[in-house]
Structure 1
Amino acid sequence: MNNLFTALITKRIVATVSALMVIAIGCGAGIWQLGRAETKIALAANLLARQQMPILNANAGPWTLEEATERRMTARGQYLPDAAIWLDNRPRPIPPAGSNTAQSGFYLMMPLKLEGRGEVLWVNRGWAPRNNENRETLPPVQTPTKVVSIEGIVFAHPGKVYELGSGKNSTQTGKPRIEQNFDLEAEGKQRDWEQLPFVLREVEAGAEDGLLREWAPLTSGVDRHYAYAFQWFALAFAGFIFWLLTGLRQYKRQGLAMGIEGIKGER
């Protein structure tokens, strides 16, 4: 058996190197996908543990990002709808039952002026579908005009998407602020107001304001990572099997040819 593998390797250097490259790439990518899945599971477990901690009160701050990140928080104040920002190209967090395609829409970012304080808290109020015929036709959303109490989870930012260009915030008056990404620090400098160093993703469900707040768990996509890992490992295994079978076929043909030549020599 050792002699066989030695022959398959030494007489097929190019094929062996190619197969090793395929195997290395497949195994490496598979291990990376497994690592991504484990990272998501660990992050979800950490988020769940932090949510079990006592609920923070934004009005009792100030709070730092390190203190509040991934914690549940309540806030009381009044929305400033004129400063709202619509984050574009955001898929619906949880697709409707029976749908395999992600519906595109907006996250509505709106500042909340905290009651009894001079600070502003940016709130991700939820998701709304986009008008596919006219991008600037915003979905109908109701905003309370009085002081409200909300609850959510603290994050450093509402998530980022790939953006072409400089990414500068639009300043066109008379038009809704539709952006690809949200820059918390830039918003504070532009408006020259004091704000908390994080955003609050609202979790209240059932409010009839035209927004969806069914947020996808952090473990979403773990099954996909496992599927990708299986495909990469399968590619590595297929590369090895292909190298082995073609080598054995060539080895047998060479052995058969040598046997025929030996018979001819004896004659």
Structure 2
Amino acid sequence: MMRLRRPPWWALLLTVAGAALFVYLGVWQLHRADYKEALLRRYATSVSAAAQDFAGVAVRPPTDSFPRVRARGRYLLDRIYLLDNPHHDHRGGVEVFVPFAVEGETSLLLVDAGFLHPGANGTTPALPALPKEETTLQGLYVPPPPVGFEMGGNALARQTHWPKESIFLDPTELAADLGRPLFPRVLALDADPVSGYIRQHSLELSMTPARHRAYAFQWFSFALAAVAILLVLNRDKRRRSP
């Protein structure tokens, strides 16, 4: 049986503090995993929910849900944006975003019209037609696609003709490019098999529930390791007399 020496007070204090911190971080990651799973469930439920009027959630959408809305207005078809190579499938392509002027509103609603595979030899695909006349749209009111660091700065400002293409679509840069404010979220249109666009929208999370749980396991392992190190370093190595 392993015998232990009394560890120094500072070693015991550091171990307890470190293990407590690691356990706290592990529990926090588990809570984040549960929150993300609930968020994904609400997103899935929203797809089949009844559509509500856009005006009710336009400026202040609920922070933890994704209302299905309907909005009437007109596309700005001369101001189309292409998000290059989104995480849709392994073939790549573009996600098509079109500003939409909602009746009676100054701000523009950015509409996610759907995904298109690349054209021949990887070229930009031909864009299926969208209504020129006033129309009513329905879909989920969701956060805009995530942004990141783009080498060379604002790609939209360097392009003079539409459709404009970029690997990120920053709402602030889009608003500046359009010369009009944007609503805080994007309208992801309902699926329509005759539209020509692939509309298989999913909620983009910075971290999945599974990854949160993996980090939780890592933090709990650190807590066990801290205790194990304290025990190993304070073993009594003296031989017991016969």
> By the TM > 0.5 criterion, same fold?
yes
In structure 2, what residue type is equivalent to 1:163? F
Q: Quote the residue 1:264 is aligned against.
A: none
Task: Name whichever of 186-195 and 201-210 sits farther off.
Answer: 186-195
Q: Quote the residue 2:128 is aligned against.
A: 142
Distance in 2 (CA, whole Å) between partners of 1:223 and 1:52 is: 26
Q: Quote the residue 1:107 is aligned against.
A: 95
Distance in 2 (CA, whole Å) between partners of 1:188 and 1:52 is: 31
Q: Quote the residue 1:265 is aligned against.
A: none
Q: 2:198 aligns with which of 204, 207, 211?
A: 211
Distance in 1 (CA, whole Å) between partners of 2:13 and 2:192 is: 57
Q: Once the 2 structures are TM-superposed, how far is the Cα of residue 185 of structure 1 from its aligned partner? A: 5.2
Q: 2:36 aligns with which of 40, 43, 46?
A: 40
Q: Once the 2 structures are TM-superposed, how far is the Cα of residue 54 of structure 1 from its aligned partner? A: 5.3
Identify unmatched segments of 5+ residues in structure 2: none
Seen in structure 2, the aligned counterparts of structure 1 residues 206 and 232 have a Cα distance that, compared at 3 Å, is farther
Distance in 2 (CA, whole Å) between partners of 1:63 and 1:190 is: 25
Q: Give the secondary-structure state (helix, strand or coil) at the position aligned to 1:34.
A: helix
Q: Quote the residue 2:148 is aligned against.
A: 162
Distance in 2 (CA, whole Å) between partners of 1:145 and 1:207 is: 13
**1:5-16 correspondence to structure 2 within 5 Å:** 7-10=5-8
Q: Give the secondary-structure state (helix, strand or coil) at the position aligned to 1:170.
A: helix
In structure 2, what residue type is equivalent to 1:9? P
Q: Give the secondary-structure state (helix, strand or coil) at the position aligned to 1:123.
A: strand
Q: Quote the residue 1:254 is aligned against.
A: 238
Q: Once the 2 structures are TM-superposed, how far is the Cα of residue 194 of structure 1 from its aligned partner? A: 7.0
Seen in structure 2, the aligned counterparts of structure 1 residues 111 and 198 have a Cα distance that, compared at 3 Å, is same
Relative to the length of structure 2, the TM-score reads 0.70
Matched, 1:29 2:13: no
Q: Once the 2 structures are TM-superposed, how far is the Cα of residue 159 of structure 1 from its aligned partner? A: 2.6
Q: Quote the residue 1:232 is aligned against.
A: 219
Q: Once the 2 structures are TM-superposed, how far is the Cα of residue 174 of structure 1 from its aligned partner? A: 3.8
Over the residues paired in the alignment, what is the CA RMSD in angstroms?
4.2
Relative to the length of structure 1, the TM-score reads 0.65
**1:18-97 correspondence to structure 2 within 5 Å:** 19-20=15-16, 23-24=19-20, 26-44=22-40, 55-58=51-54, 61=55, 64-66=58-60, 70-88=66-84, 90-92=86-88
Work out the percentage of aligned pairs sharing the same amino acid.
Answer: 23
Q: Once the 2 structures are TM-superposed, how far is the Cα of residue 220 of structure 1 from its aligned partner? A: 8.1
Q: Once the 2 structures are TM-superposed, how far is the Cα of residue 229 of structure 1 from its aligned partner? A: 1.1
Q: Once the 2 structures are TM-superposed, how far is the Cα of residue 36 of structure 1 from its aligned partner? A: 1.6
Distance in 1 (CA, whole Å) between partners of 2:178 and 2:41 is: 37
Q: Once the 2 structures are TM-superposed, how far is the Cα of residue 130 of structure 1 from its aligned partner? A: 6.3
Seen in structure 2, the aligned counterparts of structure 1 residues 185 and 225 have a Cα distance that, compared at 3 Å, is closer
Query: Conserved in 2, the CA contact under 8 Å of 1:68 and 1:154?
Result: no
In structure 1, what residue type is equivalent to 2:137? I
Q: Once the 2 structures are TM-superposed, how far is the Cα of residue 180 of structure 1 from its aligned partner? A: 4.0
The count of aligned residue pairs is: 235
Q: Quote the residue 1:122 is aligned against.
A: 110
Distance in 1 (CA, whole Å) between partners of 2:95 and 2:202 is: 11
Q: Quote the residue 1:222 is aligned against.
A: 209
Distance in 2 (CA, whole Å) between partners of 1:64 and 1:77 is: 14
Seen in structure 2, the aligned counterparts of structure 1 residues 44 and 83 have a Cα distance that, compared at 3 Å, is same
Matched, 1:153 2:140: yes
Identify unmatched segments of 5+ residues in structure 1: 96-101, 261-267
In structure 2, what residue type is equivalent to 1:66? R
